[in-house]
Structure 1
Amino acid sequence: MPPSDSAAPGPAPGPASGPASGPASAAASVDRLAAVLAAARRGPGPSAEELAEVLWLARHLGQRSAPGEPPAPRTEDAPRDAPPPAPPPPPPEAPHPPAPPPTGRVPLHLPPAPPRDSAPAARPGGGAPLRVPVPPMLPHPLALQRALRPLGLRVPAPDRRVLDEGATAHRIAALGAHPRVWLPVLRPADERWLRLCLVYDDGPTMPMWRPLVRELHTALAQSGLFRTVELHRAAPDGTVPARAAEVPATGRTAALVVSDCMGPQWRPGPAGRRWRRTLSRWAARLPLAVLQPLPERLWPTTAFPGAPGLLSAPHAAAPSALLDFAPYDAPGAAPAGAVPVPVLEVAPAWLSHWAALVADAGRRRLPGAAAWLGAPTEDAPPREDVTLLSPEELVLRFRSTASPRRSASPVTSPSANPTCP
């Protein structure tokens, strides 16, 4: 039975819709892009590979974000129900540069005194102790070492021998003996001429000169001019170590005493008698000199004042008891039983003259200073008691001996180490 006209007609044919229209539209867009590129280059159109690269680049250029912003997520990669991305954290703040010190100086002050009712360990106030560098007391150690060069002689050692290769070879060639009966030729070894004993005074007025003693001992030991440099202590009671007291009279030892000559062993009394016996023993056996840290203008105030004059020695390394001394002020006969002992400032010029005197063998008259070492007398004139002087007399006494710069400045002394906050 043929179908009737009332049957429902089927769908009419038309243009493709839905997914079928997507590729056609994309192809048309690609064709238009190819035509535009061909017109721009005025030649054949781009190849398929060139078109793919242009489209890929255009896709990624469209997703570029502004400078300093994070890149936006791709739409096809991010889920539709995902929460929006969290905002980026703010950039950290730049640290503020430390403020420079205003002047670069730190104030110094003495620590405050503790209250009378507090314990000695409790100190109010803050601050940290500060170690302040001090200048050396021996400003020119190299100049001092050069001044002592005349004492750096080398002499044959009395107790050591070494092989003399030249003399041994000459003896073998001259005798022509069999190697089994070759005999070596020995000669005395060379060594430094003098051994130096550096004796420092340990009296109550010498603590301020301890750095000078250390620097002087270091400079003498490092000079290489002496066989040995020994450091010995002279106690305030006039005693010294046994090794320093019993020095052999071999002409191979010299002694330097570092002292301001103000201690009790330099005064009349038991300590003074003991100390002067030791000095007399040294002066009779070896070259002896006193290194005075005080300047020459203050020597008259000490118990062993040296006077300028001319010194001469009969032979090298002559003991001080054999020296001839002629003072400039009173060129007369020496006091009975007195021995001249050279007194030196700690300066290269003074040590140079003493070194030339010790090494000289021709009785040259050399400038210097010496003090007379004799038997101590108990009836020596009493010294002035400064505790009985008035303040005006004390100031005048100080100004008579102090330098102009020192007398113009206030006389103060720190009672503690400085501290800084």
Structure 2
Amino acid sequence: MPHIPTGRDTGCPFDPTAEMTALRERDPLVRLAFPDGHVGWLATGYETVRAVFADSRFSSRYELMHYPFADIGELPPAPAGDMTGMDAPEHTRFRKLLMGKFTVRRMRELTARVEEITAEQLDAMAQADGPVDLVEAFAQPIPALMICELLGVPSTDRDFFQRCALQLTSIVSDQQAQYEAMTALGDYMHKLVLAKRAEPTDDLLGDLTSSDLTDEELTGVGSFLLGAGLETTANMLALGTYALLRHPDQFAALRDDPALAPQAVEELMRYLTITHTGAKTALEDVELNGKLIKAGETVVLSMETANRDPLRFPDPDTLDLHRKATGHVGFGHGIHQCLGQQLARVEMQVALPALLTRFPTLRLAAPEEEIPLRTNQTIFGVHSLPVTWDEV
């Protein structure tokens, strides 16, 4: 009975491990031994992963989960406002309230601001004397400034939030460190909520002060959105650039045709799948793929292998920006599909082609084997990405 492998393939930082791929090819739903002694399941096939995501008989509540990477004991219930750890109808209440804030139309209206922020970061990069770290100079500031503006958080505090988010997404941090990061984030957000209650502002948190959310719930929603908005897009921008640098033909395709950006972003989301896994716990006995998943058993969902399933995506291990990668599970699936996916799309569709257009000779400034990968985080990426370019 397998334990869940972690990390990526040693031959290519973008590929699932050979063990995970072999598991999918042998059987897309297998028994899995958890570090705490629980025996649950591992889903690796595209159709199987989507089926579990979409089935209301599986719960997302933390307190019902068994953690697949380490024995950390019983997980507490999700804090108020943390939609990831909620089921319907509680989840539905929050999602309905927030969906109108993240519509495609509203996110497109933010495009001009994303373009301004991107141009500012590129200007600063151009003034650098020597190589720059793309993570620090480009990938982190763009989504950080956008989510801070959207929520009404001072941009000067973004470094604090990034440190908290890094701690919360680590698979090696002890519970005390994660608790301290969560507490610090919650304390700050609570003070911000009280300030906006007293004097509402023209931003998402300010708008939500007129809803029926309590201070505790609004604090939780703000912390949840801030953490999600910082880490995911930042890592997609950095890792996406790294992938393009390792595939010069695809780099050239996007550089020479920026209109390819929407399609390119979907393919990068599929190919990279920076959120490796999800998890659901059966609320009742469920038959799936001819097997009985019993109530209380946790199913780990390997989104990275699902997005590389050849039964859904032909030649899945090839990065092809001309591929129509619709239907990928890079943003999840079902009622918990990423709430901010449209904002993430806008940011990536603007930032990536702008970077390649501004620096058409962009290249790594360090050997590939020295690029530090985030193999100890639940959100995959690079800790830093040194790059340089030729003056044009």
TM bucket (normalised to shorter chain) is: under 0.3
Task: Please report the TM-score for the alignment, with normalisation by the length of structure 2.
Answer: 0.20
- Between Structure 1 and Structure 2, the one with more helix by share is 2
Q: Considering only CA atoms, is the larger Rg found in Structure 1 or Structure 2?
A: 1
Structure (1/2) with the larger strand percentage = 1
TM-score by length of 1: 0.19
Larger RCO (CA under 8 A, 6+ residues apart): 2
